[in-house]
Structure 1
Amino acid sequence: MKHRLLAQYPLALPGYQYLSILHESDNAIILLANNPSGSPVVIKRFKFDASHLPQDLINEFILESKALGLFAHRGLVQPLDAGIASGALYMIMEYVQGVTLRRHLATIGTPPLAQALQWFEEITLALGVIHGIGLLHQDLKTSNIIVRHDQSLALLDFGLEIRLLIASGFLREDEIYCTPYYISPERIIGDPPDERTDLYALGVILYELLVGHKPYESNTLSELLKKHAVAPIPRLPDNLSVYQPLIKGLLAKFPENRLQSANLVVRLLQEISQRVNAGSSIS
Structure 2
Amino acid sequence: MSPPPAPELLALQEAVAGRYAVERELGRGGMGIVFLARDIALDRLVAIKLLPPALATSTDRRARFLREARTAARLSHPNIVPIHSVEESDGLVFFVMGYIAGETLGGRIRRLGRLPAAEVSAVMREVAWALAYAHRQGVVHRDVKPENILLEREGGRAMVTDFGIAHVAGDAADTPAGQVVGTARAVSPEQAAGEPVDGRSDLYSLGVTAFLAATGQWPFEGESAAAVLAQHLTQPPPPVLGLRPDLPAPLAHAIERCLAKSPADRFASGEELAASLGATLPVLAATPAPVARAARELHELGTDMGGYGSVLLLVIMSEVVLQYFPSSGWGAIGDAFLSLYRIGIGIGMVSLAGMRKVTAFRAIRDAIQRGYGFEDIRAALLGTNEEREPVTPRAKVAAATGWLAVFATATLAWLWTGKVGDNWNGVIQVIADLAIVFIPLSAGRWAAARLTAPSDRH
Cα–Cα, structure 1 residues 3 and 212, in superposed 2: closer, same or farther, change >3 Å?
closer
> Which structure has the larger Rg?
2
Aligned-residue CA RMSD (Å) = 3.3
Cα pair distance change 1:58/1:102, threshold 3 Å: closer
Matching residue's letter, 2:272: L
CA distance in 2, matches of 1:20, 1:103: 20
CA drift of 1:90 comes to 2.0
- Rounded to whole Å, the distance in 2 between the matches of 1:104 and 1:2 is 28
| Equivalent runs, 1:153-232 vs 2, <5 Å | 153-159=158-164, 175-232=179-236
3-state SS of the aligned residue for 1:181? coil
Q: Is 2:121–2:251's contact at 8 Å kept on the other side of the alignment?
A: no
TM-fit CA distance, 1:84: 2.1
Which residue identity does 1:264 align to in structure 2? E
Amino acid at match of 2:94: Y
Out of 23, 43, 51, the residue aligned to residue 46 of structure 1 is 51
Pair 1:128-2:132 in alignment:
yes
User: What is the alpha-carbon distance in structure 1 between the residues aligned to residue 69 and residue 80 of structure 2?
Assistant: 17
Letter of the 2:277 partner, please give it.
L
CA distance in 1, matches of 2:12, 2:137: 32
Q: Is the 8 A contact 1:65 1:82 kept in 2?
A: no
CA distance in 2, matches of 1:51, 1:118: 40
Q: Which ranges in structure 2 are unaligned for 5 or more consecutive residues? A: 283-458
1:206-228 CA-to-partner distances (Å, cap 9, x unmatched) read 22222222211233333222211
Is 1:40–1:95's contact at 8 Å kept on the other side of the alignment?
yes
Quote the residue 2:74 is aligned against.
67
Is 1:258 aligned to 2:266, yes or no? yes
Report the number of matched residues: 265
- The one-character-per-residue Cα deviations of 1:225-278 (angstroms, maximum 9, x if unpaired) are 22111111332215443334323321111223322210111122234339xxxx
Q: Aligned pair in 2 of structure 1 residues 177, 10: CA closer, same or farther (>3 Å)? A: farther
Aligned to 2:25: 21
Amino acid of the structure 2 residue aligned with 1:5: E
- Which 5+ residue runs of structure 1 have no aligned equivalent? 275-283
Task: Report Cα offsets for 1:4-24 as digits up to 9, x if no partner.
Answer: 224678872242222222222
Return 204-213 or 41-50, whichever deviates more. Answer: 41-50
Q: 1:56 to 1:180 in 2, by over 3 A?
A: closer
Decide whether aligned partners of structure 1 residues 222 and 81 sit closer, same or farther in structure 2, where only a CA change above 3 A counts: same
Residue 227 and residue 79 in structure 1: after superposition, are their counterparts in 2 closer, same or farther (change >3 A)? same
TM-score by length of 1: 0.79
Aligned to 1:123, what secondary structure does the other structure show?
A: helix
- Residue from 116, 120, 144 that aligns with 1:112: 116
AA paired with 2:87?
Answer: G
TM-score (ref. length: structure 2): 0.51
> Between the two proteins, what is the percent identity of the paired residues?
26
- Bigger relative contact order, structure 1 or 2 (CA pairs below 8 A, ≥6 apart): 1
Q: 2:157 matched to which residue of 1?
A: 152
Call closer, same or farther: CA 1:247–1:77 in 2, change over 3 Å.
Answer: same
CA distance in 1 between partners of 2:82 and 2:14 (Å): 21
Tell me the SS of whatever aligns to 1:266: helix
